[in-house]
Amino acid sequence: MFIGISVSRKVYTVSPTSYCMELLDLTLREGEQRSGYTYTTEQKIAVAENLSELGVEYIQLGFPVVDSQTKEVCTDLDITAKTTGIARAIQSDIDAAADAGVDVIDLFAPTSDLQRTHILGVGKEELLSRIEASLDYAHETGREVHFSAMDGFRTEIDFLNEIIERVNADYITIADTVGSQTPKMVEQTLTGLTTDLSEVGVHFHDDLGLATANALTASDCGVGKIDVSVAGVGERAGNTALEEYVIAQSRESDPTKLGVNKSQLISALESILDILDEDIAPQKPILGKGVFEHESGLHTAAMLDTPATFEPFDPADFGGQRHLLFGPSTGTGAAKKLLERANRDPTDNRIELLLTELDSQNEDLQLEEAVALAKDIR
């Protein structure tokens, strides 16, 4: 908890291996903040169930004061993950979140000088008083209470520390609301905080293409919670992609412990994208259709023997699969290996015949189809 006491300027961090990082998934809330996107109640329920089964600790359903869906979803949900709803530091917002039935009320307020003055038009002390009063009121609901500092990473560090010292919340989340931060800037802010970082969460946007890198830096600093979304779905350039963060984190020499089921990650998120009718680019890292497809002659020849030659990780470790394609781009090396798999002696003549057959196909063949074709070469 964050108690309103004065503390000396000292950095508290937690070794990444000594605790389990918690994830808050934003897909359902951030996804609908994009122009023209809406999800049905049924879609939200199905996605929340899938995310909970995957092992995500928190699922942000929406903004209860402006939508009735959050209450409908909560009524029909029976999951292990905690549901959250966002609320401004206003009593009516808090009442709406409590009435919706979310497990966690996540209050937010702009804290940077730029946003505080232009959005709220109040001074620092007035803002702090509003936040404190709202948090006290939220706690009276009996629910878990979080506080998110909007534009927190552009908030002067002394004021950010004052906020942390005075607010009473289970998590305080520092938000990179406009996606302006770099890993070095993230580290500078987090190491300047005078609190136990395991009680701090972070929220990043991908406007500079650095959301995942920033999240990795934050976890190395020892924060307790990372906000993520499936395929990075979110307003503008999106948020930290759940799959990118989990897989990148797992490849570090001293990975932070996570509660998600990594062996089902890719397949579960593909199912979620299908439920939401979300289209993603073929080259989208990890989840894009073309990411684990290989057709180049050099690539396929090498990968038939040792897939790691052209892959950063085995997709099967995370519930995915690779696709080796064979067609006009297939070279002699790959054709030779296909013949060997088909138990055919890879003579020069057979290699040429197979290459001719591959070149004549209407579309590229999968590995099993290409091996079957090689079997027919006489």
Residue 12 lies in a domain: no
**Same domain flag for 168 and 268:** yes
**Residues 351-360: what's their mean pLDDT?**
86
Which strands sit side by side in the sheet containing 293-294, from one edge to the other?
293-294, 323-326, 365-366
**Same domain flag for 329 and 268:** no
**Same domain flag for 149 and 37:** yes
Residue 281 lies in a domain: no
**Same domain flag for 126 and 169:** yes
Residue 13 lies in a domain: no
Is 80 exceeded by the pLDDT of residue 18? no
Residue 8 lies in a domain: no
- Distance separating alpha carbons of residues 215 and 227, to the nearest angstrom: 9
Q: Tokens representing 310? A: 């052209």
What is the pTM (predicted TM-score) of this model? 0.84
**Same domain flag for 217 and 261:** yes
The domain tally of the chain equals 2
Domain boundary among 275, 309, 339: 275
- CATH number of the domain bearing residue 202: 3.20.20.70
**Same domain flag for 197 and 102:** yes
Phi, psi for residue 120 in degrees, rounded to 5: -105, -30
Q: What is the pLDDT of residues 269-290, one digit of tens each?
A: 999 999 999 999 988 999 988 7
Residues 131/106, Cβ–Cβ less than 8 Å: no
Look over the chain and give the mean of its residue pLDDT values, rounded to a whole number: 89
Query: Which alpha helices (H) appear in the chain, and where do they start and end?
Result: 27-31, 41-54, 69-76, 91-100, 113-115, 124-139, 157-166, 183-190, 211-221, 242-250, 265-275, 297-305, 332-341, 348-360, 367-375
**Residues 288-316: what's their mean pLDDT?**
72
**Residues 99-112: what's their mean pLDDT?**
97
Give pLDDT, residue 4.
31
Residue 296's pLDDT band (boundaries 50, 70, 90)?
low
Give pLDDT, residue 337.
80
**Same domain flag for 118 and 33:** yes
Give pLDDT, residue 19.
64
**Same domain flag for 208 and 352:** no
**Same domain flag for 29 and 172:** yes
Q: What is the percent of the chain where pLDDT is above 70?
A: 92
**Residues 250-268: what's their mean pLDDT?**
93
Give pLDDT, residue 357.
84
The residue among 315 and 160 whose pLDDT is bigger is 160
Domain boundary among 244, 275, 306: 275
**Same domain flag for 164 and 269:** yes
Give pLDDT, residue 301.
67
Residue 128 lies in a domain: yes
Query: Which alpha helices (H) appear in 260-314, and where do they start and end?
Result: 265-275, 297-305
Q: Indicate the length of the chain as a whole number.
A: 378
Is 70 exceeded by the pLDDT of residue 1? no
Q: Which residues contact 363 (CB under 8 A, 6 or more apart)?
A: 327
**Same domain flag for 301 and 246:** no
Domain boundary among 245, 275, 305: 275
Summary count for the chain: helices (H), strands (E):
15, 12
Comparing 230-239, 273-282, 329-338, 344-353, the range with the smallest average pLDDT is 329-338
Q: What is the pLDDT of residues 157-216, one digit of tens each?
A: 999 999 999 999 999 999 999 999 999 999 999 999 999 999 999 999 999 999 999 999
Comparing 170-179, 216-225, 316-325, the range with the smallest average pLDDT is 316-325
- Distance separating alpha carbons of residues 262 and 83, to the nearest angstrom: 21
**Same domain flag for 342 and 200:** no
Residue 285 lies in a domain: no
Domain span at residue 320 reads 293-375
